[in-house]
Structure 1
């Protein structure tokens, strides 16, 4: 009897050690997963500031907080449980869903590139839109809802990629990693967005007479630099959408996944060149795919208009 009791204690001890070792690996998994979704994070950061442009500066932080709160709720209460259930009951669906999301990112990326080189398109679109008078409160609500709609698509990609990195792990590890990634990315993205949005105000406050000439010069530099930085961030976000979207699709197709692997292997001695070559190849492929999807969408829209 005592020997059986001690054997049971040994089994419990071994189980605890195994669980502890598994949980010790969680930070590594979180870091790895965060790196995998970096492109989407960059895009999310680049897209969000536009939703507070033209609104009351005193409401900017409140609006960002509302978007961040809804983003976190979506990730934790809707998207993460959905990914876990889907992974348990229909794991075969994860890759196709990721690829659909990747196609959407390519489409959005192409639309942004197209808008940069098609001023007439933007002008015509604006002329076709009816002028609508709304209150500041209604405008704020529309902006928040628009940001949340965009965010939920990007968040779905983040959660799906996070889940793909922990498949085969224990359910506890999966939950811990996914929740940690969701919280870390949401806080990081919207914290940085808040800093970007208020950078102008910070710069203006530094130009006051109570600060030294050097600090005033620094403040003026911030004010002049931020518009250019936000524009650059927008370009980076667009490139990230194309690159990440195409890479997600490529990894879902054995042939293209093999081609990417060959490309990386051929430049393995120069890691930075290998990364750049893969990103460039995926970016070009994403732009081409986005162009094709855009033409399909336009054709479908014309067909529906004719039917109506």
Structure 2
């Protein structure tokens, strides 16, 4: 047991928790923007997967990591716009359309890798490169703190800056006000001249871009190659973080950070004498427990509002 505590309170675990939380944070904020626009983005998983695959392939063939990253983000943004078009122009159910896009991304990425590289597993034979890390002079020499913060990937820092950015966007900008108004009362928003569809398209595009950045990190920050279905449910867990965080930027930030810490714990415990079957269930078990607590909290709040004492 002492060895478990040694792992949890080590600087290596804290650094890993920040790194592992990166895709959860970015995808969760992508889901939050979409929810605030009034359209659930169930396609986060597919957008991450498409971005991860595109980024690795473009970077490998072009020799430019930056071009690969931008291409991955662009593909995910297009998928966000496609989801918006399916919902707004064709009247498709957002949930069903999102699931369809997830299946499309899974099949299309596997087909693209096999067609280009004759490999059913991934792009390990292609040198894609990785995005740069950020050393922090003056901090890296500080015990523990330097080990945790210095040397993190560039996208990790962008992920942590996303929380104040989204909070500022929602509550300090005209676009954020329009976005929240459209998501809560679209008819009322339209009656005061807010272009509802244009705002929703912009929201879904931003949502896709954030999910794309998360996917790019998986194949070009986490490792330097793409593996088939490498998102492994992270998009769905990120969506759970959106609701667990109460659709608020800082609540979503804490929820996504918690899910990232759970996965990092599973990875770290894998090095100890702990049954691997138990270790692999930690992130998913935490997701179920968190959603159960969220549902219980909402039910209790609803009962409280219905009692005469609360009136």
What TM-score, normalized by structure 2, do the two folds share?
A: 0.30
Q: Which has the larger radius of gyration?
A: 1
| Structure with the largest fraction of helix | 1
What TM-score, normalized by structure 1, do the two folds share?
A: 0.30
